A and B are shown apart, each in its own frame.
Chain A
Amino acid sequence: AQSVTQLGSHVSVSEGALVLLRCNYSSSVPPYLFWYVQYPNQGLQLLLKYTSAATLVKGINGFEAEFKKSETSFHLTKPSAHMSDAAEYFCAVIGSNTGNQFYFGTGTSLTVIP
């Protein structure tokens, strides 16, 4: 079975500070891992994905995530937060034996303080 756990339902950072959003996964097969962002009243936009190539994945808007098998983690980071980064962030996993059914975490709401 596949699942992800997002630690911290709300995260607040100051503008210009490091953003760190945590995600741990559980998967019985090598996972494909994703981070999506959702702005108010919008659908989901893909930030980045890990599909067993490089363990450090770079995405859009300056975000990146590192796959750490030993820690079963896939944390999302951005060196310097911008006001426009305020949104809901979802970590998701699909297992290679479940087609492309996504299993999402419960989300982390990011607030950026000016």
Chain B
Amino acid sequence: ETGVTQSPTHLIKTRGQQVTLRCSSQSGHNTVSWYQQALGQGPQFIFQYYREEENGRGNFPPRFSGLQFPNYSSELNVNALELDDSALYLCASSLAQGSTEAFFGQGTRLTVV
């Protein structure tokens, strides 16, 4: 148990729809990162939020967006879903920006049909 919880655990969406994934960070952690893990691949960095501000972004299009709330929980939003967006989405929380320790949630499995 890492103390990082993600919801939902699974969901199925239709191409073109929008989806929101949620993450509750570990108590006291102010930094949240999101990763996409396609089948058979390692996780790829999407973006990071530190104290409600985006703080670094990977090579993902603008239809991937996020939010961090005052309690440091976070959302990942994906618009105009494509089939290739099917993946496991992982949230990781860290005690502070630049921390070398990250605690991962169990992930949300998104299937786009």
Report which A residues bind B (CB closer than 8 A).
32, 36, 41-46, 49, 51, 90, 92, 94, 98-107
Query: Which residues of the other chain, A, contact B42 by a CB distance below 8 angstroms?
Result: 90, 92, 104-107
A51 touches B100 (CB 8 A): yes
Q: Closest CB-CB distance, B10 to chain A, in whole Å?
A: 9
Query: Which residues of the other chain, B, contact A32 by a CB distance below 8 angstroms?
Result: 100
* A–B complex contacts, Cβ < 8 Å, 18 sampled: A32-B100, A41-B109, A43-B2, A43-B107, A45-B2, A46-B102, A49-B101, A99-B55, A99-B56, A100-B33, A100-B94, A100-B102, A102-B35, A104-B35, A104-B42, A104-B43, A107-B40, A107-B41
Report which B residues bind A (CB closer than 8 A).
2, 4, 6, 31, 33, 35, 40-45, 48, 55-56, 58, 90, 92, 94, 97-107, 109
Q: B48 touches which one: A41, A43, A92, A99 (CB < 8 A)?
A: A99
Interface centre among A32, A42, A46, A100 (most CB of B within 10 A): A100
Query: Which residues of the other chain, B, contact A36 by a CB distance below 8 angstroms?
Result: 104
B105 touches A43 (CB 8 A): yes
B102 touches A102 (CB 8 A): yes
Interface centre among B35, B99, B100, B109 (most CB of A within 10 A): B100
Closest A residue to B97 by beta carbon equals A99
Further 4 A-B residue pairs, CB within 8 A, beyond A41-B106, A42-B107, A99-B56: A36-B104, A42-B106, A44-B90, A100-B99
A43 touches B100 (CB 8 A): no
In the A-B complex, the 3 residue pairs with the smallest Cβ-Cβ separation, listed nearest first, are A104-B42, A43-B104, A44-B104
Query: Which residues of the other chain, B, contact A46 by a CB distance below 8 angstroms?
Result: 101-103
Determine the distance from Cα of A46 to Cα of B1 in the docked complex, in whole angstroms. 11
Whether A43 touches B106, Cβ cut-off 8 Å, given contacts A32-B100, A100-B31, A100-B33, is yes
Closest B residue to A42 by beta carbon equals B106
A106 touches B41 (CB 8 A): yes
Determine the distance from Cα of A51 to Cα of B99 in the docked complex, in whole angstroms. 11
Q: Closest CB-CB distance, B92 to chain A, in whole Å?
A: 8
